[in-house]
Each structure stands twice: as structure tokens, then as C-alpha cells.
Structure 1
């Protein structure tokens, strides 16, 4: 069960799209919209490393 008193990103290796405070943190950290983050998570999964890799791939291309 989630501890609602903790508002930091608990597992920095995963992106939990079901927790609004985590989504806000990740969108700010990665510089993307919630919608873009969701698209990438849907494509590559919720691994933060995979999401970062996908974002970097699009920045270069």
C-alpha cells in the first residue's frame, strides 16, 4: 500500500503513471508533457532508463 505522506519518487528506476505526483516529477525532470511521457511509456515500458533512451533517440534524429 502506498504511503500518502511520502511525496518523492520512491523507485527512480520506474515511472508510475498512476501516481500524479510521480508523473509531475518525471515530466519536470525529463522536460516532456504528461501526454508525451505516456506515449513513451506505452511504447517502451515504465523503465526510466528505457524512457530516457527513447527521448535521446528522438533528440538526435
Structure 2
């Protein structure tokens, strides 16, 4: 399990692009013998006032 390796703690804090962070988290899981179905969610959380965040459709 990746949570045991420190990657889950280290990668999101050092990789700015969420898509790249996902790739860097999924690759070691596959390398350790995980099946094809490896799931990973990385969110780019923006803090601030609601008015500062553009609305999305």
C-alpha cells in the first residue's frame, strides 16, 4: 500500500501539477505489482474568499 511508503505524504507537496502527481503515485503501485485498476485522486485546493474563485460551468 502506497500510504506506507511516504509517497502519499511527499509527492503532493512537491509536485505542482495534479496530473503529474497522479502519475508519480500510480507508477510505483504498478511497479509493486498492483493490478491494472489503481485509483488515485489528487485535488488542487485553493483557499481564499469565494468571490476570488471563478465560477465553473
TM-score (norm 1): 0.33
More helix by share: 1
